[in-house]
Chain A
Amino acid sequence: MRRRALAGFAAAGLALSAVPFFGLPAFYESFLYLVFHWIVLAVSWNILSGYSGYFSFGHGAFFGAGMYTTATLATKADVPFLWTLPAAALVAAVFGIALGAVVFRLPRLRGELFALLTLAVTFVLATIVLNTSIDGGPGLVLSAVPLPAIGPSPSSTFYLLGLALALATLWIAREIQRSKLGTGLFAIHDDEDVAEVLGVPTYRYKLAAFGLSCGLAGVAGGIQAMFISYVTVGETFSIAVPLYVVLMSVLGGSRHWFGPAVGAAAVTALLYAFTASDYAVAGRAAVGLILILVILFLPEGIFGQAVGALGRRRVSAAPAVDADDLSAATAAAPGKTEGETLLEARGLSKAFRGVQALAEVDLEVRRGEILGLVGPNGSGKSTLINVVSGHFRPDSGRILFEGRDLAALEAHRIARTGVARTYQIPRPFAHLSVLENVALPAMFGRGALPRAEAEREARRWLAFTGLAAKARALPGELNLHQRKFLELARALASRPSLLLLDEVFSGLTHAEIDDAIRLIRAIRAQGATIVFVEHIIRAVMELTDRIVVLSYGRVIAEGDPRAVMREPDVVAAYLGKPHA
């Protein structure tokens, strides 16, 4: 697959790079250079923004950083033009990573806030460049900088440079989409918190994607500086770059590496067609109208829509998997005895402003058991799961898991130690198929399996939970019962040694609960240790070996389910104190 694609890229590169040697008029070469230029900008933008959903309106800033790096080095330091390009990439990438290092730490800066922030950064950079000796006002002129003769003429040199960069960018975007990084980014797009809990190092992935995206934009800027040979702040940091880039990607389809290239070629050709005639203004209006129509009628973009239609036609029956072959999937490592302590929480506290959700909780989970975590609403059960799985950091206390303290670990590292969880309200990745949803934790969890193996593993767990027939479906097509089981399959696919289940049974019918109880028994039979939060007492009584009762963030009872549920404190916590 990869070799064929590589051959395809090489063939396209060779064929296209032969074009200038057939005496194409310079006019066409320049036009094609512009197409390549926009392809690079749109495709590079898409690496962060399309894949992970962090729409940046600051692509102009990184493009501009590249432009000014090349212009400054070439005119003021006499660095040969081609050598300025790596520098342009580096400056833009470092700038992007520095920005990301701050912004990506703030979980609320997503969506439109990220877009506006990056736009503001563009204008701040523009103001600084304008007012310092980098530009100072009049702009930089590169007409005296020698252009290496790569092609037979200057315009063909730009054509070849643009072509090379466009192919490289497309290749990088393609490889990322198919790599673990790409899978992680698409998961971040749909639900970043869940991605992190399933083992995706979200912060590092976003930084990597941002760095690459900015670096490529920087090179494009470097070449463009030489192409237009006169660099000014007003033209460089205009709103045009980010907006056209967004338009191109949305038009082409931002969920596929090739989509933005389609959009870039279409928009560039359209603008050019209008500029060449006397209707430049009408051309811009047409671009605006197209943007509106695409958002309203083709939310997946032209290319995305086409690929989607093809994909649906190609749906094949899932290969049969023997659900019984789960012997390999047992989570308990051999040689570890049942009954020893697997997880131990000591003095765990967590407060949300005034509310003490957990107060000095001590808790012990023994290997191989099913521990029920019960208590009235607001007693801290879900918080406990959130703290153990790393979604929240505890204010104080320790969580020892197989000898490691989880309290200070990031959520994705906790996932890799072998802790998995489900959500009370299922949170599947909406744009990933059921199979991809389950394969993801197998790739990012403790096993860190390669993709093919992860998918095999995922099919096993889908068969186990009875979802095998739905492997290609999107989560939106499942009913609640199936989505709850998808949550389970996803948690199991990472082969956890500790499974935290948050109200798996809520909202299920009587018969579905019976199903779920059977399933959890089967999971335990394979050696996983289970902590489950539950309100449905029937399930608690049938499944648990031991229960712990929480009330107002404190453990008020623990031990054998039947005995504990009769304790006066527990009855009072649930039903209130009897008034004599």
Chain B
Amino acid sequence: MALPSLTLLGQSLLSGLFIGALYGLLGLGLSLSWGMLRQINLAHFALAFLGAYLTYQLAGAGMDPLATLAVIVPCFFTLGVLMHWLLARFSVSTFNSLLVSFGLTVIIEALIQWIWTADFRRMESAYGEVKFRIGALYVALPELLTLALAVALSLLVWVWLRHTYTGKAMRAVAEDAPIAAAFGVNVRGLSLVLSGLCAAFAGVAGLCLALSYTLAPGQIYAWLGVVFAAVMLGGLGNPLGPLVAGIVIGVSEALTMAFTAPAWAPLVSFSLLIVVLLARPGRI
């Protein structure tokens, strides 16, 4: 095993940071809905891919990729509200929410395959061409955008939950919904809004996916394990957790790839997930 050069090491650390940011962005909505609404939304990944494909479609029609958010975010917010309404209407348990949202994942996957086929799709955009140079290292604009969006959204949610009146009410709902309701908190309304926000975050993550990755319907499942690992490592319902944990995982993966073969990378996140579950099941 040859040691990689310093430049290579720096580059892989950077790419670990950026992919970690995407893990964090994907994990943000998942963590909030699991931690605060007690719903494990597997369909979060499918929604992100649906968002990515929509970005691809709209950008193909001549829209600026970032401008697509103006369309995607409201649509996804509505989707999220509808989904929570459905789950709440039938008072679906945490475990069953996993199954229901898996059913939804399969439907969205089929929908994507039906509209865009199973072929790989790659969005062409002006953003992809832009690269910055820092010393010997290159940074692509889509990656920077992903990092910026992940940090901004995570911080916004953190500020909302910690320092605003509605955010504190939301935390009370997560802690004990009936008690919060008894103190006048609109549990139903807040939960619907949060679920809408989570879906909207999936849409934003979809934009980042479309900017940096080649899309295929089967790829939906590729992100599942890593992002779940980030969500659990970060602590459920903690808005900064997925980002921090995501970056830790991304960097460890990048180092694993640099020092061994790329195919070993999945071992890192899943082993971390198993270790977290075995060593600290209490925090979840």
CB within 8 Å of B: which residues of A?
Answer: 55, 102-103, 106, 108-109, 111-113, 115-117, 119-121, 123-124, 126-128, 130-131, 137, 238-239, 243, 246-247, 250, 281-282, 284-285, 287-292, 295-296, 299
Contact = CB atoms under 8 A, between A and B. Distances in A.
Nearest to A296: B90
Among B109, B111, B229, B266, max chain A CB count under 10 A is at B266
A120 B94 contact: no
B100 A124 contact: no
Contacts of B261: 131
Contact of B106 (A115, A119, A137, A288): A288
Main secondary structure of the interface of B (DSSP, over half): helix
B15 to A, nearest CB: 20
A106 B281 contact: yes
A287 B229 contact: no
Nearest to A284: B110
Contacts of A288: 102-107, 110
Contact of B225 (A108, A112, A123, A238): A123
Contact of B221 (A106, A109, A127, A239): A239
Nearest to A103: B278
Interface stretch (B179-187, B202-210, B269-277): B269-277
Contacts of A281: 110, 113-114
Contact of A106 (B99, B110, B266, B278): B278
Interface residues of B, number: 41
A292 B107 CA distance: 10
A433 B267 CA distance: 45
Nearest to A297: B90
B95 A111 contact: yes
Contacts of A299: 96
A112 B99 contact: no
B232 interface: yes
Contact of B277 (A113, A137, A250): A113
Interface of B: 40, 86, 90, 92, 94-96, 98-100, 102-107, 109-111, 113-114, 221, 224-225, 228-229, 232, 261, 263-264, 266-267, 270-271, 273-274, 277-278, 281-282, 284
Nearest to B221: A239
Nearest to A126: B266
Nearest to B101: A292
A291 B263 contact: no
Nearest to B279: A106
Main secondary structure of the interface of A (DSSP, over half): helix
Given A106-B278, A112-B40, A124-B266, 18 more contacts: A108-B284, A111-B94, A112-B94, A115-B98, A120-B229, A120-B273, A120-B274, A123-B266, A127-B263, A127-B267, A128-B267, A131-B264, A281-B110, A281-B113, A285-B107, A285-B114, A295-B100, A296-B86
A109 B277 contact: yes
Contacts of A119: 224-225
28 contacts: A102-B278, A106-B278, A106-B281, A108-B281, A109-B278, A111-B94, A112-B40, A112-B94, A113-B281, A113-B284, A116-B228, A116-B277, A117-B278, A120-B225, A120-B229, A124-B266, A124-B270, A127-B263, A127-B264, A284-B109, A288-B103, A288-B104, A288-B106, A291-B99, A295-B92, A295-B96, A295-B99, A296-B100
Contacts of A120: 225, 228-229, 270, 273-274, 277
Nearest to B108: A288
Contacts of A239: 221, 224
Among A111, A284, A292, max chain B CB count under 10 A is at A292
Contacts of A250: 99
Nearest to B267: A127
B94 A287 contact: no
B270 A123 contact: yes
Given A113-B284, A119-B225, A127-B264, A285 B111 contact: yes
Nearest to B115: A281
A127 B270 contact: yes
B266 A127 contact: yes
Nearest to A53: B95
A108 B282 contact: yes
Contacts of B92: 295-296
A124 B267 contact: yes
B49 to A, nearest CB: 15
Nearest to B232: A116
Contacts of A247: 99
Contacts of B95: 55, 111-112, 115
Going nearest first, the 10 A-B pairs with the smallest beta carbon separation are: A288-B106, A291-B103, A285-B110, A108-B281, A292-B103, A288-B107, A288-B103, A120-B270, A127-B267, A124-B270
Nearest to A234: B218
Given A131-B263, A288-B105, A124 B277 contact: no
A479 B81 CA distance: 37
Contacts of A130: 263
A292 B104 contact: yes
A284 B225 contact: no
A134 to B, nearest CB: 13
A120 B232 CA distance: 12
Contacts of A123: 225, 266, 270
Nearest to B102: A243
Nearest to B282: A108
Contacts of A243: 102
Contacts of A282: 110, 114
A579 B98 CA distance: 59
A111 B95 CA distance: 7
Contact of A117 (B105, B106, B110, B277): B277
B212 to A, nearest CB: 22
Among A120, A123, A127, A289, max chain B CB count under 10 A is at A120
